[in-house]
Amino acid sequence: MKKKVLFLGASGLVGPYVTPGLEADYDLRLADVKPHPEGTPIEIVDVRSYEAVHEAARGMDAIANFTVVRGDPVLSFQVNTQGAWHVMKAAAAHGIRKVIQTGPQGVRHAYEPEFDIVDPPPVPDSGYYGCTKFLGAQICRIFARTYHIHTPYFVFAGLGASPKEPVLGKDFEVMRIFWEDLQHACRLALEIDAIPDYFQEFNMHSFDGHHKYRLEKAQRMLGYEPTQPWATYYRRTP
């Protein structure tokens, strides 16, 4: 029997590109506050409402929270911080033991000159997006460890389509992840039985060749590897 997964943010900037890689293996309950860009049926669920999240999570085996608001000072707090609280509170109430959360990396500005960075303390910037997501992550950490909810928290800095032909004139971007790899990471996170201490932040990107923000922890705990050696598309020719 397929696992039942509540996918919040199904109509956003990320959800429509991730769910196609999951729908064959999981029974997805797609939810958002706006219509899906491709007309896919979804349930209207507002993460700002605990009651709505609690009801949508009923009967689910896992929750994947891909909701986000960036620049608005009020909505960013309501979605990124309070929304994370509602998701984790609903998971605890229903006995759900797996939640996937996502957020922006909180280390690049502070550690940019460094190399071989695996798991440093995050240093969020002062923007609404970074601050509210940082607060949401701390809420997830507390709920995960208090209620034994295994919560992989993926951090990255850019998402998009993978290259289909050689890329000329530029290098691959630090901490950027392609859709195929994020789909793969979600599948791994949904299938793994447990993660240490119930909450872990994972660098999640498609290139480890820069030797900066390493994938070591995601490799060791999740078994993650990029689905292809994407750097080959960026090789310079003589």
pLDDT, one tens digit per residue, over 169-217 is: 888 888 899 999 999 999 999 999 999 999 999 999 999 878 888 999 9
* Gyration radius of the chain's alpha carbons: 17
Q: Are 7 and 29 in contact (CB under 8 A)?
A: yes
Q: How confident is the model at residue 238 (pLDDT cuts 50, 70, 90)?
A: low
Both tokens of 84, joined, read 């994370």
Give the mean pLDDT of the chain. Answer: 93
Give residue-wise pLDDT tens across range 134-166. 999 999 999 999 999 999 999 998 899 999 999
- What average pLDDT does this structure show over 97-106? 92
Give residue-wise pLDDT tens across range 75-98. 999 999 999 999 999 999 999 999
pTM above 0.85, yes or no: yes
| CATH number at 3-234 | 3.40.50.720
- What average pLDDT does this structure show over 103-116? 82
Of 122, 117, 112, 121, nearest to 208 (Cα)? 117
Report the half-sphere exposure of 38 (CA within 13 A, side-chain side): 9
Give the residue extent of every domain in the chain.
3-234
